[in-house]
Amino acid sequence: MNLAEYDKLTGQVADLAREQGAATRRAAEEEPESNAAAYTRENARRVAYQADLAHLELQERLGQLVRVDSLRPAIQRAAASTAKILDGLVQEADTLRAVCARDDGRELERTLKTIAHRMRSDIAAALAAVRPGVAAPEDGGPAG
C-alpha cells in the first residue's frame, strides 16, 4: 500500500522520531552517504509523498474516491431494498400454483423467467437509487 494512502485513511502521519531513529540505525549499519545525496533522496521522497496526498485529495474532491464510512448507510439501504424485493417472491405463489396445476413445464419456466427478470430490474433500480453519503428519505423508500 502507498504510504500516503495509508496515512490518509488512518488520519495519521508518520512518527518523525521513529523515522529518525530508524534512519540513524540505517546510517550506522550502512556505508556513510554524503549529506547532499541523503538530502536529495529524502527531499525527493517527501515531495513524492506530498504529491500522493494531493492526488488522493483531488480524487476525493472529484468523487472518484469515496470514504468507506460514507458507504455503510448506502450499503444498508441497498441490502434492505434487495431483501424487500426478494421477499416479494412470496406474492407470486398464487401465479406459480396455477401454472403448476396446469402441469405445463414450459409455462412454468416462462413465468419464472418473467419473475426473475422483473426482480433483477427492481433490484437494479433500487441499487441505482442509492447514493453514498445521502441520508435515507423519511418515508423509508429508496434514496434518490
Asked if 82 contacts 123 with a C-beta cutoff of 8 angstroms, the reply is yes
Quickly tell me which residue has 468523487 as its cell.
63
The domain limits of the chain are: 3-61, 68-129
Containing H/E element for 83? helix 68-87
pLDDT, residue 26, reads 72
Which residues touch 123 (CB under 8 Å, ≥6 apart)? 81, 82, 85
User: In angstroms, rounded to a whole number, what is the distance separating the alpha carbons of residues 27 and 45?
Assistant: 17
Whose CA is closest to 53, among 25, 11, 88?
Answer: 11
Asked if 123 contacts 85 with a C-beta cutoff of 8 angstroms, the reply is yes
Asked if 42 contacts 91 with a C-beta cutoff of 8 angstroms, the reply is no
Percentage of residues of the chain with pLDDT beyond 90: 20
pLDDT, residue 69, reads 81
Asked if 3 contacts 48 with a C-beta cutoff of 8 angstroms, the reply is no
Predicted TM-score (pTM) of the model is 0.48
Asked if 95 contacts 44 with a C-beta cutoff of 8 angstroms, the reply is no
All residue ranges of the chain with pLDDT < 50 are 138-144
